[in-house]
Amino acid sequence: MIAEAGLLLLWLAAGLALLQAVTGFAGLARRDDVVALGLAVRPVAIVHGVLCAVAFLCLIALFARTDLSVALVANNSHSAKPMLFKLAGAWGNHEGSMLLWLTILAIGGAGVALFERRLGARMLSATLAAQALLAFGFYAFLLFASNPFARLNPAASEGAGLNPLLQDPGLAFHPPTLYFGYVGLSVAFSFAVGALLAGRTKDDWRDFARAMRPWVLAAWIFLTVGIAAGSYWAYYELGWGGWWFWDPVENASLMPWLAATALLHSVSVTANRDGLRAWTIMLAVVAFSMSMIGTFIVRSGLLTSVHSFAVDPTRGVFILALLAIYIGGALALFGWRIGKVSSGATFAGISREGALVANNLLLSVILGIVLIGTFYPIAAEALGHRLSVGPPYFNRTAGPIALLLVALLFVGPLLRWRSDRPGRLPKIAWVLLAAAVIAAIALVATVPATTLLPAFGLALGIGLALASLVPLAGRSLRRTPGATWGMVVAHFGVAVALIGMASNAAFTEERLVALAPGQSTSVGPWRVDFTGVEPIAGPNWTAIEGGLAARYGDRIDRLTPQLRSFFTPPTETSEAALLTRWNGQLYAVLGQPTEDGRWQLRLWWKPFVTLIWFGGLLVALGGAIALVARSRVPGAIRRLVARIRS
């Protein structure tokens, strides 16, 4: 009965989503009797979120029990799977992932209804109505095209299992993290639509931006963590030695992050200085539009990827229709109402606001490059021309602009609000920027293996790591605002990640060899001895495990790369072995045996590659510091401590 209860809850939640939209739009009316109906939108949104969450818990329970009478469980689970992967199977497929997406969307609306007290009644009603309309379309999609609770008759004798590439702890948490990011952007989108529908007065734009900012910041944090986790999973699980391939599905998560980064800076200007109002509205629409486009890419069957689940073209058409309605409607509303949005506070070109506008323009250009590179091959194939757009295009076009963006971080945070002049900036900022350029030129001249782009990246990364600390100079560290600490940590994280990316591109060494037991090879500073192979067994797989002894100076470490064979579904995977040191990683992949009894081995020495993900975590940590600093929690804690002391 769990499946039937989950389906019933979905239908009830869909009905409440429609009621939430009706009551929300009623709050925009001028008649007192209709406005009274709008007062019900808060409780309706809260109950709607609860019902959808319970429906998703029903789906998790079905996977935990391995209920093979449910088609989704039979197609994506197996009784022999570890419990973690049984639970992850609830969202490791098309229907379950869409229900998770919808659940977080509904909970986001409930959170706005429950906690938001800064907005007026009209603005809040319009926001919750927009959020409900988003949810209602996806309820229709699930209930009519992708029912996650459909029964099998008769029940399957055993499940088909989850894609082995997805049977990894990182993939158990990677999709929910990204979805939390997408939903935060959906709330920002609803705020923007609510502002356009309800209208804002001259004095309450700051309240609007301050209400939106925590959702944007939280979404940006989750997207950052999700992208970093997905990158590291692809790096160690797929066995190809890279951390980013510019795959269309990777781009599907990068595009919302780029738009969210621009939106985060813009909404901060609106909240603090009452400027960039139109930018904030537009970027909120664009950021969620990128999330919708990413959903279409992954769920439509348009692409074949380990991330892609849908293969039914009907589903793709349904999602495309939702995308056209939501994005097209929002852009039409933006074009219709944006003329009534005043420009807000003005500022000089050389100012903190001016630097943030330049930041947003550069991010928008990179977003456009990624969007074109992702969809151009799809459009060309639809016209009968098969082609591919790979890393060379993205690296050569987006790379220089990204470095220009990094250079802007040297001086942008040091500028004053409203108006400033270059001569007032601390000399250390200009010294660091000049030193970075000189170091890059020297690196290109002295290290033959280093190309121009990684050299500039490495030099700018080191310079930015120092420049990011300049805002703390001359301040009392204890009295420095939390938001400033968050900015410093996030920008320092960007520098750390950039150093890792540049080092990986410039100094990686690769060795492809075929060795017999007892033979050795070298890569970078390592000597690697091949000791042989042996069979091993796991909970739902068997493997051939290679033995490697890696020597660096007097120390010897053991690596054990594997070739795994999963039972259900029958799949072979390559499990890389990683040896991490402070200055990089030794990366080993076991290949196939040769006719003369040797085994193929692929080895990489990747200096400072781990800084890529450490930097990503620092960026997210900076966002978290800023989020906590701007929330009401610290003040509540201080008041509680004061009461205890008194």
pLDDT of residue 308: 46
Name the E strands within 167-292: none
pLDDT of residue 369: 96
pLDDT of residue 1: 86
pLDDT of residue 306: 45
pLDDT above 70 covers a percentage of the chain that reads 91
Q: Once rounded to an integer, what is the mean pLDDT over residues 343-356?
A: 82
Q: Once rounded to an integer, what is the mean pLDDT over residues 333-350?
A: 80
Parallel, antiparallel, or unpaired for β 577-581 and 562-566?
unpaired
- The residue type at 522: S
Q: Once rounded to an integer, what is the mean pLDDT over residues 193-222?
A: 86
Residue of 444 and 565 predicted with greater confidence: 565
Residue of 305 and 614 predicted with greater confidence: 614
pLDDT of residue 77: 87
- Both structure tokens of 56: 């998703």
pLDDT tens digits for range 388-409: 788 889 999 999 999 999 989 8
Q: What is the pTM of this model?
A: 0.91
pLDDT of residue 558: 95
Most confident of the ranges 16-25, 74-83, 380-389: 16-25
Q: Once rounded to an integer, what is the mean pLDDT over residues 615-622?
A: 97
Burial class (CB in 10 A: 0-12, 13-18, 19+), 180: buried
Q: Once rounded to an integer, what is the mean pLDDT over residues 564-572?
A: 82
Residue of 229 and 442 predicted with greater confidence: 229
Q: Once rounded to an integer, what is the mean pLDDT over residues 585-591?
A: 96
pLDDT tens digits for range 254-307: 999 999 999 999 999 998 888 888 899 999 999 999 998 887 777 665 555 444
Asked if the model's pLDDT at residue 422 lies above 80, the reply is no
Phi, psi of 329 (to 5 degrees): -65, -45
Average pLDDT, the chain: 87
Q: Once rounded to an integer, what is the mean pLDDT over residues 66-72?
A: 93
Q: Once rounded to an integer, what is the mean pLDDT over residues 598-609?
A: 96
pLDDT above 90 covers a percentage of the chain that reads 51
pLDDT tens digits for range 113-159: 998 888 888 888 999 999 999 999 999 999 998 899 999 988 888 88
Q: For residue 592, what is the enclosing H or E element?
A: strand 584-593
Q: What is the DSSP letter of 155?
A: P
Asked if the model's pLDDT at residue 343 lies above 50, the reply is yes
pLDDT band at 82 (very low <50, low <70, confident <90, very high): confident
pLDDT of residue 347: 81
Name the E strands within 458-583: 509-515, 520-523, 526-537, 541-552, 555-559, 562-566, 571-575, 577-581
pLDDT of residue 76: 86
Asked if the model's pLDDT at residue 638 lies above 80, the reply is no
Whether the bond between 148 and the residue before it is cis, its omega within 30 degrees of 0, is no
* Tokens 């919808």 belong to residue: 102
C-alpha 62/C-alpha 65 separation (Å) is: 5
pLDDT of residue 309: 45
> Which of 491, 508, 521, 346 is CA-nearest to residue 429?
491
3-state helix, strand, coil split of the chain in percent (to 5) is 65, 10, 25
pLDDT tens digits for range 504-541: 998 999 999 999 999 999 999 999 999 999 999 987 78
pLDDT of residue 500: 97
Instruction: List the single range of 1-5, 203-207, 529-533, 572-576 with lowest mean pLDDT.
Output: 203-207
